[in-house]
Structure 1
């Protein structure tokens, strides 16, 4: 017995010695933080993070390969605990979420009928799937089966619906979808999403220069989700209040309902949603990505600059705006009269942008008060040039410098700034665009007895918004068509007394498609006026290039149209860290064009700041249309009247700058939203049970 015990003790001692020696020789150290980190992960071992389980994920975090926010299932508190273990700042990392781009579902007809196939991926491999729409949802729910968190359901209308509260952004649904219509994106990725040729887009959304998802926000209004409608608009456009008042709504020209009926009043609905927020007494919160430590200077506080600054800040970059005028707003403050866009409305909207943490410096002119060198020395990583188009074109005729002659933008700017200008009693405004109309209608409100609009073509060719032309006619402005000014006549005191013009006739169409005006010899006519405003267009003012002493500024290329030369797809200028947008890039254009340009420039600046190649959006539409979405016939439409915009009566509006156009009442807005067919690429909701229309 005793020998046996001694023998066992001896074996035990020997094993202990061997193990002790082995531990010294084959010792493997494991960082204790790995276990601590793993204990604070979700423990789901879902693989959504890209690693084979939570242990592997914890090891990647400890080794510095991944951030503390790696786990797609963990909540904010868990991320903060992991960050504390690692001794780093958790930040406010963006959570990716799944969302479905296609809302076609059962609205899309079947092209093929398959037997025995229950998988989207398998069906897509067989002639692209069963739907008529080549890019739409097949609807068999591969994404639903792939989701381990019960966050994706196949909705009653035949397309997947995502529950944001359950979605962890693991990406399984996106990997399962053969059509790429269900995606997992962060907020930043959504903000920088642009219209592409393969996307499921309605014709109106394809046409919008700001690329707003128009059917979605109108459908949200229809459902009474006004807050959500504003958020949908702001994913693309930070100035819905201004746009809802001044945009000429090119989207409505492509409204599918307009083929058989009247287009949906898209812009009025945008204004309804935006005004709802402003009048609600509180702002809808706007979220931003974590700070990146990068710094951008935005030169020019107009719609392009404000848009660029808004999206850059939401992407997490520090942004400062530098503006030459006393207040931000650019052309929408100083070039659009109070009766169209009240300053208090504009102030409210701009303040919401600044509240994101954007600083602004007014009354400082680029090239005079500061330059490129001082910006670079101050640590800016990129510059956006959105200096606008403030240089009025002149008529180039004898006498246009007489007392009583003005140029359009200069005149509107001085009025907006509160300057007292010596006015006459009778005026001629030369031009047919929105600036000319704004000048003419402003003159009436300033008390002039008679205002003429002199235009070298006919009413049909006027580029001004139709609603503005109609309002001018209602207010008593007299149009003088087919008239080309040739000379300003004045008295002995060099004061305007008459405008001489030559009568014209229309010839063949020019490059713009409008018939070219041709003079009628010997048709000189005198118009008795004591004030003349030429509003025939404007160009960017680029004197900053010559005024700035920084040698690098010599590399900035300017076009023969005095615009900043740029790559139209990326808006990058000839100096790699300078980008541009708005009128300074395109020449005088629409406010909504400037907004779209500001967002596109923000995408390029973001790429530049991250050290990635500044490349165009792949297959970007950029004003092009998807051929199959352009119908010539739309079945199943019951005609219904378009909402008429409420406005102040003429008798009540000419003695002040009171806002003329009013917002739709809620009842009318809801009724108008019901007129929307909620179109997608080829799908839409007919008013009856007619079969879906096909492109003809």
Structure 2
């Protein structure tokens, strides 16, 4: 018994010694951070991240092979906790979602019959797939098979549909697609996505300066998803109420239906859903990415400044808008009369932008009350200059200094600010653009008995929007065409009595393509008026260049007084200063300024991240995809275009009440059904009638 006990003790001692040596020799150390990271992952072991379970994913984070956001199911809070364990910056920790770019599917014609393996990847090897559209969806569903979460299904038109509620943004679908139709992007990446030459885009979407997905939001209207349409527009344009009222809709010039019929009334449909949200009693929630800790100062609150501020805030940056005028809005508040864009509508729209957490400061002028130095001292990391074009051009003729002479934007902005102007009984407005028309229609509403528009070319060459010209004719504006002012004549009190002009004739076309007006000798004519408004164009007011900060000397201006910039990135000659809108381009469309503000936001974001500020690769930017532009469209049955409702002349001339009204719902649905739902090459000629 004793011997056995001693033997067992000896054996135990030997084993202990052997195990002790083995533990030293074969010891495997596990970093305790692996367990801590794993605790903060979803624990689903789904493999959606590309690793064999959560333990493997946690180990990949610890050894630096994966980011804190490796888990495709965990939310931003889990990402922050994992980053804290690792002592890393989690970045914006934004959720990723997949989305389908192509909406053509089975509508696209086939160039050959395929009898091979039922796989997109296999088909793509053969001439890029059977579809005529080389960028379109093949439609065999490799992306659907790759998704482990049931977030993709084949839609009725032969292209995949993404279920956002099930999508975890793992990227498996994107990897499976041989044609890059399915993409996985964060909110910020979607907001800053710009049209590229290989995108499946309808002609109207290519033409829109804000690059809105027009067919998608019209399809949503057709399906009674009005709030979805608002969200689609707001991905590219935060000022849909304003644009729905003042945009001259260049998109409609490229509408395919317009080739065989009247174009779809795209802008009226935009206004319909914008007004629907405003009058619904609540706002659609707008998501913003997590804060980045970077600060941007936006100088000027016109459409480019508001757009830039909106997109910067949505991608997580802290933004302050600084405005010299009493209220925000810039030219769309002070340069566009209320009968076109009511203040209460603009107020509601701007309030929605500020509600994102954007600070604003009024009555503060750049170059006078503050400058670049004070902005840098206040901790701003970048500056956006959207100071507009507020300086009116003058004619340069004798008598312009007489009492009763005004300039266009100056007159409109003073009236919008509540100032009472002495305008007499008869007026001549010199110019043929939208500002000139706005001045003429405004003065009629202020009680003038007679308003002339004096233009040196003919009606055909007037650059104003056709609808505005027609409205001014209906309201009683009298046009004096082929007239070039030469002198303002006044009385002994120094007040205007007449405008003298030379009669003109049209000669050969000039650089703009319009026939050049040439004077007729000895044709001097006098027009009896007591007010003259010159509205022949504007340029930026560049007094901010007097800022003594040394860097301001580096900010270059063009010979037109616009701010010198890279037209693709909108970065100025000072690396941390960016610009867009009228300050960069000279007077242009509101929708151009909105698109420019978004493009500047992308460049500012790159600058703040320390990345090279480079242009969008293969950006369309005012170009067209040649193969998508048709000269004929088969199968179209003409359907009458919706007529914009408006107040009758006798009901609108005694106030600044809004003239153009919104489409009734049934008319909006009917108009949405006129849309051919185009993609790059395909369309639906047999859209049902409402």
TM-score bucket of the superposed structures, by smaller chain:
over 0.9
User: Who is 2:668 aligned against?
Assistant: 669
The answer as to whether partners of 1:334 and 1:416 remain within 8 angstroms in 2 is yes
* Aligned-pair CA distance for 1:6: 4.4
In structure 2, the CA distance between the partners of 1:577 and 1:80, relative to structure 1 (3 Å rule), is: closer
The answer as to whether partners of 1:637 and 1:688 remain within 8 angstroms in 2 is no
> Deviations for 1:421-479, whole angstroms, at most 9, x for unmatched residues?
11110000000000000000000000000000000111111110111000001001001
Q: Distance in 2 between matches of 1:539 and 1:91?
A: 41
User: Who is 1:206 aligned against?
Assistant: 206
Is 1:337 the counterpart of 2:319 in the alignment? no
Is 1:161 the counterpart of 2:150 in the alignment? no
* Aligned-pair CA distance for 1:91: 9.1
Two-structure CA RMSD over aligned residues (Å): 1.9
Is 1:603 the counterpart of 2:602 in the alignment? yes
Partner of 1:522, secondary structure, is coil
In structure 2, the CA distance between the partners of 1:378 and 1:78, relative to structure 1 (3 Å rule), is: closer
User: Who is 1:373 aligned against?
Assistant: 373
Q: Distance in 2 between matches of 1:108 and 1:628?
A: 14
Q: How does 1:224-623 map to 2 (within 5 A)?
A: 224-545=224-545, 547-623=546-622
Q: Distance in 1 between matches of 2:478 and 2:621?
A: 38
> Deviations for 1:243-301, whole angstroms, at most 9, x for unmatched residues?
00000000001111000110101001001111011101111000100100001010111
* Aligned-pair CA distance for 1:80: 6.8
User: Who is 2:656 aligned against?
Assistant: 657
Q: How does 1:619-630 map to 2 (within 5 A)?
A: 619-630=618-629
- TM-score under structure 2 length normalisation: 0.97
Gaps of 5+ in 1: 690-696
Is 1:188 the counterpart of 2:188 in the alignment? yes
Partner of 1:218, secondary structure, is helix
Q: Distance in 2 between matches of 1:305 and 1:215?
A: 27
Partner of 1:504, secondary structure, is strand
In structure 2, the CA distance between the partners of 1:84 and 1:295, relative to structure 1 (3 Å rule), is: closer
Q: Distance in 2 between matches of 1:438 and 1:81?
A: 57
Q: Distance in 2 between matches of 1:380 and 1:82?
A: 30
Q: Distance in 2 between matches of 1:149 and 1:77?
A: 22
The answer as to whether partners of 1:636 and 1:688 remain within 8 angstroms in 2 is no
Q: Distance in 1 between matches of 2:207 and 2:525?
A: 42
* Aligned-pair CA distance for 1:149: 1.2
Partner of 2:487, secondary structure, is strand
Q: Distance in 2 between matches of 1:489 and 1:290?
A: 63
Q: Distance in 2 between matches of 1:616 and 1:358?
A: 27
Q: Which moved more, 1:633-642 or 1:680-689?
A: 680-689
The answer as to whether partners of 2:676 and 2:687 remain within 8 angstroms in 1 is no
* Aligned-pair CA distance for 1:93: 2.9
In structure 2, the CA distance between the partners of 1:619 and 1:82, relative to structure 1 (3 Å rule), is: closer
* Aligned-pair CA distance for 1:624: 0.6
Gaps of 5+ in 2: none
Q: Distance in 1 between matches of 2:366 and 2:75?
A: 46
The answer as to whether partners of 2:432 and 2:536 remain within 8 angstroms in 1 is yes
* Aligned-pair CA distance for 1:88: 8.7
* Aligned-pair CA distance for 1:156: 1.6
Q: Distance in 2 between matches of 1:313 and 1:22?
A: 59
The answer as to whether partners of 2:76 and 2:95 remain within 8 angstroms in 1 is no
Partner of 1:594, secondary structure, is helix
* Aligned-pair CA distance for 1:8: 4.7
* Aligned-pair CA distance for 1:38: 2.1
Q: Which moved more, 1:150-159 or 1:471-480?
A: 150-159
Count of residue pairs the alignment pairs up: 688
User: Who is 2:121 aligned against?
Assistant: 121
* Aligned-pair CA distance for 1:16: 1.3
> Deviations for 1:115-148, whole angstroms, at most 9, x for unmatched residues?
2231111111111110011100000111011111
In structure 2, the CA distance between the partners of 1:295 and 1:80, relative to structure 1 (3 Å rule), is: closer
* Aligned-pair CA distance for 1:194: 0.3
Q: Which moved more, 1:5-14 or 1:295-304?
A: 5-14
The answer as to whether partners of 1:288 and 1:316 remain within 8 angstroms in 2 is yes
The answer as to whether partners of 1:336 and 1:438 remain within 8 angstroms in 2 is yes
Partner of 2:518, secondary structure, is strand
In structure 2, the CA distance between the partners of 1:144 and 1:5, relative to structure 1 (3 Å rule), is: farther
Q: Which moved more, 1:96-105 or 1:75-84?
A: 75-84
Partner of 2:427, secondary structure, is strand
- TM-score under structure 1 length normalisation: 0.96
Is 1:636 the counterpart of 2:639 in the alignment? no
